[in-house]
Amino acid sequence: MGQKVSRTDFEWVYTEEPHASRRKIILEKYPQIKKLFGYDPNFKYVASAMVLLQFAMMFIMKGQSWPITLIVAYCFGGVINHSLALAIHEIAHNLAFGHARPMANRMFGFFCNLPLGVPMSVSFKKYHLEHHRYQGDEVIDTDLPTLIEAKLFDTTFGKFCWVCLQPLFYLIRPLIVNPKPPNRLEVINAIIQIIFDAFVVHFFGWRVLWYLIIGTLLAMGLHPVAGHFISEHYMFAKGFETYSYYGPLNFITFNVGYHNEHHDFPAVPGSRLPEVKRIAAEFYDDMPQHNSWIQVLYDFIMDPQVGPYARIKRKARGLD
């Protein structure tokens, strides 16, 4: 468990991120993909059902013991909350109500945020869209691990700890690497969340609130559904910076596994990404891909060639 990773630096490249150019090539060959752009009218019902399910779980979890609370939070509540976090990912791309109704998307994001226990909907959008536009930029793309993370967690045991602590790094990293002052909608998001959390504590008790928050945190760390955090952009094959996963967990994660397809066409809702792959199969079938998020987590921790260093980075714009 003390084996050190073989990499001593990130994979630095001086090319543009690959998705914009591939999008242009694919659309020239398959212009019908443009018909897949737009929001999914069924999405809001699926996401709302998940929120209501967690509301119902608050009644069930009231009065449960700590062991039961933790087990249910990891095995069930955390999965639902992770799916809701990925619903917020869809909402960040205005795929709940379309680009013509941005405020409706933001309000729905507040609603989907409630069971997560911590405000994140607006802040996530602010940083995530830059991850798409400036993928790999060492400052702007806060999805990239920092040099400190890579140096501190460079052993097998270190990588295990890093995976468990992923929620912490996703929270703190943007504030250190690319800090931005909170905007009005972030303040509103926080106020709504605080009021909801106070409501939960008043009517159901602290343990139910912790059921929601702990489930959110556990399912972003060492958890099967959290495998997508690593499978998406960590370099398992040299020179490839985005990977897709086509396994069954896409069913509960709004097809986030179709990640090459998503970065190529962020205006296509998750429910239609399999159709993108079907139409443009020759662009995706031969690319390195993952078949199991559990295997991704295992390989990331145990393989000395993979770790926080295994990311493609580009120098910040304006810097050498």
Average pLDDT of the segment spanning 250-277: 98
pLDDT confidence of 183, banded at 50, 70, 90? very high
Q: Name which residue leads in pLDDT, 7 or 48.
A: 48
Measured between alpha carbons, how far is 140 from 126 in angstroms, rounded to an integer? 11
DSSP state of 145: P
Average pLDDT of the segment spanning 16-30: 96
The half-sphere exposure of 112 on its side-chain side, counting CA atoms within 13 A, is: 32
Q: What is the pLDDT of residues 30-89, one digit of tens each?
A: 999 999 999 999 999 999 999 999 999 999 999 999 999 999 999 999 999 999 999 999
Question: Are 268 and 259 in contact, with CB atoms under 8 Å apart?
Answer: no
- Does residue 181 surpass a pLDDT of 90? yes
pLDDT value of residue 89:
98
Measured between alpha carbons, how far is 317 from 298 in angstroms, rounded to an integer? 35
pLDDT value of residue 3:
84
Q: Give the tokens for residue 145.
A: 């691990």
Measured between alpha carbons, how far is 192 from 175 in angstroms, rounded to an integer? 22
Sign of the CA dihedral running 143, 148, 149, 155: positive
Mean pLDDT, the chain, rounded, equals: 95
Average pLDDT of the segment spanning 112-116: 98
Residues in the chain, how many? 320
CB neighbours of 87 closer than 8 A, spacing ≥ 6? 43, 46, 47, 50, 112, 254
pLDDT value of residue 320:
44
Nearest 5°: the CA angle 108, 246, 112 is 10
pLDDT confidence of 1, banded at 50, 70, 90? low
pLDDT value of residue 318:
53
Number of domains observed in the structure of the chain: 1
Q: What is the pLDDT of residues 223-244, one digit of tens each?
A: 999 999 999 999 999 999 999 9
Q: Give the tokens for residue 274.
A: 């399999």
In a domain, 320, yes or no: no
Residue found by looking up tokens 């199991």 in the block? 292
pLDDT value of residue 319:
47
Average pLDDT of the segment spanning 90-115: 96
Average pLDDT of the segment spanning 178-193: 96
In a domain, 1, yes or no: no
pLDDT value of residue 316:
80
The domain containing residue 153 runs over which residues? 11-313
Q: How many whole angstroms from its chain centre is CA 197? A: 23
- Does residue 207 surpass a pLDDT of 50? yes
Cβ-in-10-Å burial (0-12, 13-18, 19+) of 49 comes to: exposed
Span of 65-79, 111-125, 289-303, 306-320 with lowest mean pLDDT: 306-320
In a domain, 140, yes or no: yes
The whole-model pTM stands at: 0.94
In a domain, 288, yes or no: yes
In a domain, 6, yes or no: no
Percent of the chain scored above 70 by pLDDT?
Answer: 98
In a domain, 229, yes or no: yes
Question: Are 121 and 112 in contact, with CB atoms under 8 Å apart?
Answer: yes
Q: How many CB atoms lie within 10 A of CB 185?
A: 18
Percent of the chain scored above 90 by pLDDT?
Answer: 94
In a domain, 4, yes or no: no
- Does residue 140 surpass a pLDDT of 80? yes
- Does residue 168 surpass a pLDDT of 90? yes
- Does residue 111 surpass a pLDDT of 90? yes
- Does residue 139 surpass a pLDDT of 50? yes
Rg (CA), the chain: 20
